[in-house]
Amino acid sequence: MERIKCTISYDGTNFSGYQMQQKDRTVQFEIERALRKIHKDDIRTHASGRTDARVHAYGQVFHFDSPLAIPALGWVAALNSALPEDIAVRRVEKVHSHFHARYDVVSKEYRYKVLLNGRDNVFARNYMYRYPYRIDVSTMEAAAKHFLGTHDFTSFCSAKSDKENKVRTIHEIEIQQNGDELLFRFVGNGFLYNMVRIMVGTLLDVGQGRRAPADIPAILEKRDRRYASKTAPGHGLYLWQVNYNN
């Protein structure tokens, strides 16, 4: 048996999220179907975490165990030819048998893309959140600073979450404006359900002047989802990179 670590991109547009469900098309279902084609047998996969419907990944990671002795580049080719075109394997590595794609995560990077334009853009509609309001990036940056470090993020987590511990550490937040495109980068040790999208929704409210940067510590303090702004839509979000030791 060899343990295989796989880094994949997917276009979330036509998926009901990463994780297997009864009825809908999911990324995990397509991956396990491709592995079944290759192995003529069921192969269980373990991902770094789920992503929601319409959320994209540039660098999702999963692992599986295989009895087949295929070199890493052979795996890339075999998987890409068995997968549908909205999932692509970027990299395959052979790892120790105790590596785990979920439990060994050290940090993750998410990105969120916003289009600051009132005009309908048919090409960006599935890949960026259209937000046609004037925003001030420096005010958003001042607000974002309050998220850095270790906090209880209950106010920035979907009330549907079943995680007990809502304390997470954010290492880095960057906000870049490039013409009418706005890019958010978040790096942290872990993110709760909808956490990035609720932070983005709240930061956009700050950028538009509907909330002040100093509101962020007060919202965190409340530990109540109802105090933060609304969840930004899934199609602007990208699971960009998952980091492990080594």
Nearer to a copy of itself, 49 or 59 (CB): 59
Total length of the chain: 246
Distance CA 228, CA 222 (A): 9
Nearer to a copy of itself, 41 or 120 (CB): 120
Q: What are phi and psi of 125, to 5 degrees?
A: -60, -30
Rounded to a whole number of angstroms, the minimum distance from the CB of residue 32 to a copy of itself is 18
Binding site for a copy of itself (CB under 8 A): 9-11, 56, 80, 85-90, 119-123, 125, 127
Rounded to a whole number of angstroms, the minimum distance from the CB of residue 238 to a copy of itself is 9
Q: Which of 11, 41, 42, 52 is catalytic?
A: 52
Distance CA 244, CA 72 (A): 19
Nearer to a copy of itself, 83 or 219 (CB): 83
Rounded to a whole number of angstroms, the minimum distance from the CB of residue 57 to a copy of itself is 9
Nearer to a copy of itself, 78 or 140 (CB): 78
Can 162 be counted among the known catalytic residues? Answer: no
Can you say whether the dihedral through the CA atoms of 198, 200, 204, 210 is positive or negative?
positive
Rounded to a whole number of angstroms, the minimum distance from the CB of residue 156 to a copy of itself is 27
Contact predicate 82/74, CB 8 Å: no
Rounded to a whole number of angstroms, the minimum distance from the CB of residue 71 to a copy of itself is 18
110 is an annotated ligand-binding site residue: yes
Distance CA 219, CA 187 (A): 21
Distance CA 75, CA 126 (A): 30
Nearer to a copy of itself, 26 or 154 (CB): 26
Which of these, 12, 10, 9, 8, lies nearest to 233 by C-alpha position?
A: 12
Contact predicate 149/168, CB 8 Å: no
DSSP per residue, 23-65: SS--HHHHHHHHHHHHHTS----EES----TT-EEEEEEEEEE
Residue at token pair 């853009």: 121
- Name the binding residues for substrate: 110
The residues carrying an active-site annotation are 52
Residues making up the binding site: 110
